[in-house]
Amino acid sequence: MKMKVADFIQQIDAADYQVQTLTTADANEKVTEKELVKILQPLFDHFSKLIASEALGRIEQPLNFADQTVIIALETGVINLPFANNNRVDNFFENDAETEILANLILTSPELNASGLRIDTLGEVSQWSEKNLPQQAVTLVAQNLKQLAENLAK
């Protein structure tokens, strides 16, 4: 899926994108990747439907973890910036450039790091299934939750 950068910016500025927050899930501090696959499957299913419809959007999976709520989100984008930072997209692209839409994994938690935010680009949405981007997301979420648990133990 490709889109002109100017069109992307316009849609995000106009809030012309889908947002869905799923039911909060629970995970303990020793959650395994295998358990995370089950926990995150609804997130992956909803994101798959979103990209199949060729829409822009953000799907959030709140997770009760270590006595706080961590937001795990999948968001479409043209660069690894959340929609909230859309005003910076044109710093990286010419507005008339056409680029692939990306799948970004975003974790938000005050104790995760100094900014409380971690964003990773998983790949192009057109390769969501063939490149097994959901498994990549599970691995990154596991790493970030481990880091969060370590930060909270300090």
Q: How confident is the model at residue 86 (pLDDT cuts 50, 70, 90)?
A: confident
Q: What stretches of the chain show up as alpha helix (H) in DSSP?
A: 5-13, 33-52, 133-153
Q: What pLDDT score was predicted for residue 137?
A: 96
Q: What is the pTM of this model?
A: 0.94
Q: How confident is the model at residue 95 (pLDDT cuts 50, 70, 90)?
A: confident
Domain hosting residue 16, numbered range: 2-153
Domains of the chain: total = 1
Whole-number Cα distances in Å, 62 to 30, 40, 140, 150? 17, 10, 16, 20
Q: What stretches of 4-93 show up as alpha helix (H) in DSSP?
A: 5-13, 33-52
pLDDT in tens, 2-60: 999 889 989 999 999 999 999 999 999 899 999 999 999 999 999 999 999 999 999 99
